Amino acid sequence: MTTRFKIPRSVLVVVHTPGLEVLLLERAPWPGYWQSVTGSLESDDEPLRETAVREVAEETGIDATRYRLADWGIENRYEIFAEWRWKYAPGVTHNVEHVFGLTVPAPVAVALAPGEHSAYLWLPWREAAEKCFSWTNRDAILMLPERLRAGL
C-alpha cells in the first residue's frame, strides 16, 4: 500500500459578505486555531478554482458556484508547521497557497466537515483577522476592504 501525501499547493478562500463579515472555522484537532476555508489540490493538474469550489463545499456545505468567487491573484509561500509536516512527502517544508475571495449576500448557516472543524463564526473583518492563527489568512482578511473596492 502506498502512502498518499498532500500536495504542497493549496487554496485559501476568504468567505465574506459585502458588509465585511468574515466566516472563520475552528480546527477540530486544534481548539483555538481559527481560519478561513483552506485545502490542498487533490492532483497536480487540478485547477485552483476547482480546488476552491471543492474545499468550500467540503468544509462549509456552501456551493461556491452560486456566488461570486474571485481569484485575487495572490500566492503566499510559507513554512508548513512542524506538527503538520507528516502529511507531506519527506523533505517537504513549504507550501504555496493561492488566495480567493467568496462573496455571499449575508451570513449563512454552515455544515461543518466532521472531524475537520468544530465550530464556525461570522465576525467583522478586523476581529476575524485578529482571531486567525495564520499570517497569510490574517493578511488576506486585512486586504478585504481594498479588494471589494477594486471589485475583486
* Domain boundaries defined on the chain: 9-149
pTM above 0.85, yes or no: yes
How far is residue 45 CA from its own chain's centroid?
19
User: What superfamily would CATH give domain 9-149?
Assistant: Nucleoside Triphosphate Pyrophosphohydrolase (3.90.79.10)
13-54, pLDDT tens digit by residue?
A: 999 999 999 999 999 988 999 999 999 999 999 999 999 999
CB 64 within 8 A of CB 13: yes
81-129, pLDDT tens digit by residue?
A: 888 788 889 999 999 999 999 999 999 999 998 889 999 999 999 999 9
CB 37 within 8 A of CB 26: no
